[in-house]
Chains A and B, each alone.
Chain A
């Protein structure tokens, strides 16, 4: 017989070492054969010795039938289920970002703003189309990697940039896209594109963006009066809208999203290694 020195509960199971109530170490209370009970007459919590009572042994009506393996079986089942779910999610295409399956690029989608912003050989056999957000930190990091990829593949690759400002969460993404497109109307899209990514952290945290972007426009040699006029003009808005229609049709909900000759870089193909492999595959298909 054991008793908890803290809560005063008595336990018949001598193998028990700690109180199930408060975790205190149990102490041996009485000789074998005797059992403890709380006095029904006295309000005191002190137990009395009642050696003539039936000992509390496993299997008596005072204790339910033990099922020591049931909790372990439940825990084991949940562990196995968790591992299976993880495995399935890891193997399923692009978990989470597109529960609704993106439609394959059939070529019948809206073309996006025309003329497109193209960098590289306009007649290259492989087209890498990027949907980007100037305030997206990953796009900011990736743009440097993309330049390396452009250098590696040279004339075999042309890069097309499409606007996909994500609002939310990027509150300044739309104005940044407008700045890039306004620069594009003066033939300096890529210069503004690079400037916005290079200084992304600075302008992302600025309170008043327009003076910052006007300063960038000056730095890349734009007519700032025209830039200011175009920034909120219809031509710029129309280009962003056209790119948005294409992004919507292709179910582009994340940036950067890449298409290589119309084929989306899914799963982890969007990472540099995967993208390089896709470009090489496209080159092989083009017989290069």
Chain B
């Protein structure tokens, strides 16, 4: 396994560290929504605007599995890949980019459903969307970064 040298490694690692921290926010959000679903609380209507309509809709489950739990798994994988990428594991970068791209497309679809099909927005879903969009921006930034030539020259 190859590691870049100290200062430059830090320059390269920061977007991945930020991505890791963001994915933790997404993970916490998704865990909360999963627990709400498992305990049946998401089915009830609450003064928290729109969440019950969104979370009790047919789009909140994939074959009886709460979509939030799928999100929790996705955020955990993003966290793992971001940490590996920050530590210089090169294979993690394309995998992270691919996963974030899929999550970004999924986010667009879910935002469309909330706006035009369910006609309600849930702020926990919007938080997750904000996290995913920021992750996508970070991945774009890292894909444009290139290590300077001669980086490994002694």
A residues apposed to B, CB below 8 Å: 7-13, 15-16, 18-23, 35, 37-38, 40, 45, 53-54, 56, 60, 62-64, 66-68, 70-71, 74-75, 78-79, 82, 85-86, 89-90, 94-97, 133, 136-139, 166, 168-170, 253-257, 267-268, 270-271
Contact = CB atoms under 8 A, between A and B. Distances in A.
Contact of A254 (B45, B76, B84, B147): B45
A270 B76 CA distance: 32
Contacts of A94: 39, 41
A136 B50 CA distance: 11
B31 A86 contact: yes
Contacts of B127: none
B135 interface: no
Interface residues of B, number: 53
Contact of B31 (A20, A45, A89, A139): A89
B154 A137 contact: no
Nearest to B121: A169
Given A136-B44, A138-B56, 10 more contacts: A23-B90, A23-B94, A37-B154, A40-B150, A45-B149, A85-B28, A85-B31, A94-B39, A168-B47, A268-B40
Interface stretch (B3-11, B59-67, B104-112): B3-11
Nearest to A19: B90
B103 interface: no
Contacts, number: 160
Nearest to B90: A20
Q: What is the predominant secondary structure among interface residues of chain A facing chain B?
A: loop
A-B complex: 4 closest residue pairs judged by Cβ atoms:
A20-B90, A136-B45, A38-B150, A169-B49
Given A53-B154, A71-B89, A86-B35, A271 B40 contact: yes
A136 B44 CA distance: 8
Given A166-B47, A271-B40, A82 B31 contact: yes
19 contacts: A11-B2, A21-B93, A23-B91, A37-B150, A62-B5, A70-B87, A75-B83, A78-B24, A78-B79, A90-B38, A95-B32, A96-B35, A137-B45, A166-B47, A168-B50, A169-B49, A254-B46, A256-B44, A268-B40
B147 A21 contact: yes
